[in-house]
Structure 1
Amino acid sequence: MDKTDVKLLKLVQDGIPITHSPFKGFASELGISEQEVVDRLKNLQKAGKIRRFAASIGHRAIGITANAMCVWNVPDEQIETVGNIMAEFPEVTHCYERPRYPDWPYNLFTMVHSYTPEDCEKVAVRISEATGIRDYTLFFSEREFKKTGVRL
């Protein structure tokens, strides 16, 4: 990844215009062709530097207002298998292994999003049934102070 790639990522992270030539402005600002912009983005994606291009949905604006952090006590020898199963649920947006602490037995964290808190609870039950993990707790969000992706 060179300096032009970094500059390109800084430009596209704010969104891509919905126009007939969405990369023209980026190309002009970088002093390269539109095709080079496209090629660089494809290469960055192939290299795993960017995951995908997609619309960023305002989930609250479309009615998905409930979300819960579900914390799970997963046997260490099952963490990989269980984590992969949990990550496959469409309502799960984040799935992370975290360390246990003496007074905190939970080592797998998922964020579940749905229309109501009851729906989130139903998702957690489905996850529990799919994985066999019965020791879990849900923490519901009350207010969002900030939500952004990682920025360069």
Structure 2
Amino acid sequence: MLDKLDQEIIKLLQENIPLAEQPYMILANQLGITEEELLKRLNKYKEEGILRRVAVILNHREAGFKANGMVAWLVSKDKREEVAKILARHSATTHVYQRPTYPDWPYSLFSMLHGQSQAEVEEIVQELSELTGIDDYQILYSTEELKKTSMKYFIEEQ
């Protein structure tokens, strides 16, 4: 069961985390607790499955990445994990997902790549194709951003 402090921590983590050398110290000060106590609770949440991760939401277009391509890769089941690791290690990759296949869509592995242009994304895809040995893929380019928010918990009723 989450106590009042747990709820306050979760509410605070839903907002922007300070861009600072010691962001958790700043958050702890806002909560009136020590950084050690905050980190202890965050580790507990992780161990208990309450918190999966703390992650950055990057507004790619505002950061200068004008071309965002979801690459659908045709990868055999026995090579998926190996290929996924190669894709995930690349600095231009932000997400790698495995998804079910369908008779008219055999692609099972997806990676999100970001670049300054479609040509740059295509160069990265070619590099990844050579690294993985996978040459059957489709690049699906983003045309607009639809969502850049996360779920909000323990919010006051409006």
> TM-score over 0.5 for the alignment?
yes
Note the 1:3-152 alignment, pairs <5 A: 3=3, 4-17=5-18, 21-27=26-32, 33-35=33-35, 36-44=37-45, 49-52=51-54, 56-152=57-153
Q: Which has the higher contact order (CA 8 A, sep 6+)?
A: 2
Instruction: Give TM-score, length-normalised by structure 1.
Output: 0.80
The Cα shift of 1:2 comes to 3.2
The Cα shift of 1:146 comes to 1.7
Q: RMSD value over aligned CA atoms? A: 2.6
Unaligned runs of 5+ in 2: 154-158
Change (3 A) 1:109 1:151: farther
Identity within the alignment, %: 36
The Cα shift of 1:127 comes to 0.7
Instruction: Give TM-score, length-normalised by structure 2.
Output: 0.77
Q: What SS does the aligned partner of 1:96 have?
A: strand
Unaligned runs of 5+ in 1: 28-32
Change (3 A) 1:13 1:129: same
* Separation (CA, whole Å) in 2 of partners of 1:71 and 1:8: 37
